[in-house]
Amino acid sequence: MFETTLKPQPEFENKMYDMIYQIAEKAQQDRDQLNEFPYLLSKSQLAKQVFNVSTQTLDAHIVRRSDFPKINIGDRVLYPKDEVISWIKDHISITNDIASERKIVSL
């Protein structure tokens, strides 16, 4: 029989604390950045700052959807920040469902 014992690395608790602190700090920065956005976003703001894609990609895959939140003001179309964030949260599972169906074939 084999017997093993696990011993944490020196300074393990401090390293874990530092990692958790960095994650929390990044989350707070992201939240603060999101709060700096105006309530209504233009298409270019939405593409660049929220989705990190080109406006062409945004047009082709997202904003043309009938369920995507938008407001028509005269000839302009604007996107309410809070509604867009909720829409993203509601549609994350679609990506997870599709990805889980994919089969990886080993060669």
Q: Please report whether residue 65 resides in a domain.
A: yes
Provide the number of structural domains found in the chain. 1
- Determine, yes or no, domain membership for 26: no
Query: Is the dihedral angle over the CA atoms 72, 78, 80, 83 positive or is it negative?
Result: positive
Q: pLDDT tens, 2-61?
A: 787 777 777 888 888 889 999 999 888 877 777 788 899 999 999 998 899 999 999 999
Which residue, among 57, 31, 46, 32, has the nearest Cα to 84 in the 3D structure? Answer: 46
List the domain range (segments joined by +) for residue 58. 39-96
Residue 85 lies inside a defined structural domain of this protein:
yes
Evaluate whether 58 touches 46 at the Cβ level (below 8 Å).
Answer: yes
Predicted pLDDT of residue 103: 56
Identify the helix (H) or strand (E) that includes residue 71: strand 71-73
Within a domain: 63 = yes
| CA 72-78-84 angle, 5° bins | 115
Note the pLDDT of residue 11: 82
- The pLDDT value recorded for residue 4 is 77
Question: Per-residue pLDDT tens for 59-106?
Answer: 999 999 999 999 999 999 999 999 999 999 888 865 555 555 555 554
